[in-house]
A and B are shown apart, each in its own frame.
Chain A
Amino acid sequence: MNTDLVKAHLNLNAVLVNLEDLVVYDEEMAALSKNWALSIQFIVRNGPRAHITFENGKCTVGRGRRKRPSIILYFFSPRHLVRMFDGKAQPVLLKGFTKLGFLLKDFPKLTARLEHYLKPTPELLADKKYLALNTRFTITTAAFAVRELGLLDPVARAISSHIGNGVVLMKVNPEGPAAMLRFQDGGIEAEKGDTAKPMSAMLFRNLKTANDILNQKLDAFTAIATGDVMPRGRIGMVDSLSLILDRIPLYLG
């Protein structure tokens, strides 16, 4: 198994997707990006492809290729992409030389803010607004990472292949954030948001509990007994999902 390949998929398809919510819930980032009208295509040789589109104050992140991107960033290998996410390498700009100012000045502000929200400290988590956004991004990253690991990580793939059909909901009660994983005939799709009729659910009492569980600071067995985490529905699905969630730190430490 190529660890860098898995990391590349996770970074492009599970981390970057949080930009969609960053420009919604962070006022400064919303203001920064509201007039952006461009798209970025990421191409990794022997690796994943993804694209980001900014339009009408909205950000959309997608897998694969998009038509006529404004900017194309090329990476020689999954390792190259991983090093860029670690701040140790630069991409090759294949298209969008006129957008160099955006790439060097504006876009990094957005990614730096995302990084800020994804690297919590106890002090930062004491702030309610930060806790809310960090938890939202953590749930989204977890859901989308499960999808990637279910495709690429051999152990996760073996686990997910035995998960029955249906939607597993991860949700902070009472009003979210929430994310869903749709298992269907061996395939997995992740999406943000809630559903009224999941096949199974992992419900968190509040933001703090969700944050602690998803960041491996609290064991789920204890939290279930205290009612801080409430699994419902097909428990075997939740059980299997938990095993895959446990594998995320192997790649996104």
Chain B
Amino acid sequence: MKTYTYKKSVALFKRAAKVIPCGIYGHLSPAPLVPATDYPFYASRAKGARFWDVDGNEFIDYMCAYGPMVLGYNDPKVDAAAMKQLKSGNCITAPAPIMVELAEHMVDTIAIADWAFFAKNGGDVTSYALMTARAATGRKKIVLVRGGYHGVAPWAQAAGHPGVIDEDHSTIMYVEWNDFEGLERLVNEHPGEIAAFMATPYHHPTFVDSELPAVGYWSRVEALCKKNGIVLIIDDVRCGFRLDMRGSSEYFGFKPDLACYCKAIANGYPISALVGTEALKTAAAKVFYTGSYWFSAVAMAASLATLKELKRLKAPELMMARGKKLLDGMIDIARSHGYTLNVSGIPSMPSVYITDDESLMLHQDWCAECTKRGVYFTSHHNWFISTAHTDADIKKTWNVVDEAFKVVRKKYGM
């Protein structure tokens, strides 16, 4: 099988590094790709479940733009809705009617939603959720799960990161995932001080396995928050619409007060949303929060089309089934080479690690070997499955996976 090279990507990156801090910043930075030189840096085009880099290499994409791509790149229905709206108007002095239509659709779709507020990125709405909780409760403190990701605002970044100061965390407290007793202890130690508990529906940190909620965890958390007047915020930015159209909280059987959405909400068009219960609508209204492009009607039209199409396809169930098929096959292939492939999380957003080498160097090499053969796997972030991944994609993936195992076996042995 031919392996890829990335001459044009490298050349473009060198140009970029001269005029853009670290060349490519943020979550698309090549830094977490190991080794980075085995990965493409720039994409020239994308369609369905595939993208092509600037060197002309074709990839089956299991990162889906780190989540936003859910129906396949350039989905015709979504793009048509966006283009239609663009012709009517995008950022205008007054909002477009599509905004109301989208809010109504989200309220009809998401179980806990009595209202919807739109912004651009996940971090916009996680911050807005905290402000809303503080406005509603008159309290300062926020409890987060250690290792949880809620964006890049200073309060959401871990201490010690450049640009983050101690005071950014002065009202933030942490508990471990699934540690209900730890949360209960914090609540008892700070009576009347905690505005909100924010967490993802299940724990999906980078670099390690994902963890599902323990039996009874969420119902106990929900009851504890209700009893103590703490706003329960679910950060559904990554999981949203990949577990359950009604919200990932429905999948796990609990009801938060606020839920944050982004990624899969508009198949790549820039929009995020905070939805909430009627009880918090007045507090949400009182918080002044806005952005230059938050009323962009094109993204709203794309979002409405995306949500309708996801519903029509029963997308969460479809992606779960495709993910399961892909992963079951990969586990079998790994076993045939004497390796153990551990899958955690949920099949539409799996965290995958080869467990035979504690340092993960073997795993990194295997992901890189797959990528160089056209199956884009990152080694330290959960993957994403879209509705556009086909059986043919899965079959080709299995072939590449098989060859990559042969390559790493030669290097590492058993």
Are A235 and B160 in contact, with the CB atoms below 8 A?
A: no
Are B359 and A235 in contact, with the CB atoms below 8 A?
A: no
Contacts of A155 in B (CB 8 A): 159-160, 166
Are A221 and B160 in contact, with the CB atoms below 8 A?
A: no
Q: List the one stretch of A22-30, A84-92, A170-178, A197-205 in contact with chain B.
A: A197-205
The listed residue (A166, A244, A246) touching B359 by CB distance below 8 A is A166
Does A231 make an interface contact (CB < 8 A)? yes
Are B34 and A243 in contact, with the CB atoms below 8 A?
A: no
A190 to B: closest C-beta gap in Å? 19
Does B172 make an interface contact (CB < 8 A)? no
The listed residue (A224, A232, A246) touching B361 by CB distance below 8 A is A232
Are B159 and A159 in contact, with the CB atoms below 8 A?
A: yes
Considering only residues 356-393 of chain B, those with a C-beta below 8 Å from chain A are: 358-361, 364, 380
Contacts of A156 in B (CB 8 A): 160
Contacts of B380 in A (CB 8 A): 235-236
Q: A226 CA to B11 CA in the complex, in Å?
A: 10
Are B35 and A235 in contact, with the CB atoms below 8 A?
A: no
Contact digits for B153-185, partner A, Cβ 8 Å, 1 yes 0 no: 000001111100010000000000000000000
Are B14 and A226 in contact, with the CB atoms below 8 A?
A: yes
Are A247 and B24 in contact, with the CB atoms below 8 A?
A: no
Q: List the one stretch of B15-23, B68-76, B103-111, B283-291 in contact with chain A.
A: B15-23
Closest residue of chain B to A227 (Cβ to Cβ) is: B37
Contact digits for A212-246, partner B, Cβ 8 Å, 1 yes 0 no: 00000001111011110011111110010001101
Closest residue of chain B to A219 (Cβ to Cβ) is: B22
Are A158 and B159 in contact, with the CB atoms below 8 A?
A: yes
Q: A225-B30, A234-B207, A235-B34 are in contact. Are A243 and B23 (CB under 8 A)?
A: no
Q: A233-B360, A233-B361 are in contact. Are A221 and B37 (CB under 8 A)?
A: no
The listed residue (A222, A244, A246, A247) touching B23 by CB distance below 8 A is A222
Are A221 and B31 in contact, with the CB atoms below 8 A?
A: yes
Tally of A-B Cβ pairs under 8 angstroms: 81
Q: A221-B23, A221-B31, A230-B35 are in contact. Are A243 and B160 (CB under 8 A)?
A: yes
B331 to A: closest C-beta gap in Å? 23
For chain B, give the interface size range.
Answer: 20 to 34
Q: A234 CA to B380 CA in the complex, in Å?
A: 9
Closest residue of chain A to B38 (Cβ to Cβ) is: A227
Q: A198 CA to B21 CA in the complex, in Å?
A: 31
Closest residue of chain B to A232 (Cβ to Cβ) is: B361
Does B36 make an interface contact (CB < 8 A)? yes
A146 to B: closest C-beta gap in Å? 12
Q: A244 CA to B159 CA in the complex, in Å?
A: 11
Does B313 make an interface contact (CB < 8 A)? no
Q: A15 CA to B109 CA in the complex, in Å?
A: 62
Closest residue of chain B to A160 (Cβ to Cβ) is: B160
Contacts of A226 in B (CB 8 A): 10, 13-14, 17
Contacts of A220 in B (CB 8 A): 31
- Candidate in B13, B161, B361 with the most chain A CB atoms within 10 angstroms: B361
Contacts of A159 in B (CB 8 A): 158-160
Query: Which 6 A/B pairs are nearest by Cβ-Cβ distance?
Result: A221-B22, A236-B207, A233-B359, A225-B30, A227-B37, A243-B160
- What 10 additional pairs, Cβ within 8 angstroms, besides A166-B359, A246-B160? A156-B160, A158-B159, A199-B358, A222-B17, A222-B23, A224-B36, A225-B36, A227-B36, A233-B359, A236-B207
Enumerate 23 A-B pairs (CB-CB under 8 Å) in ascending A order. A155-B166, A159-B158, A198-B359, A199-B359, A219-B22, A221-B31, A222-B17, A224-B30, A225-B17, A225-B22, A225-B23, A225-B29, A225-B30, A226-B13, A226-B17, A230-B36, A232-B35, A232-B359, A233-B359, A233-B360, A234-B359, A236-B380, A244-B160
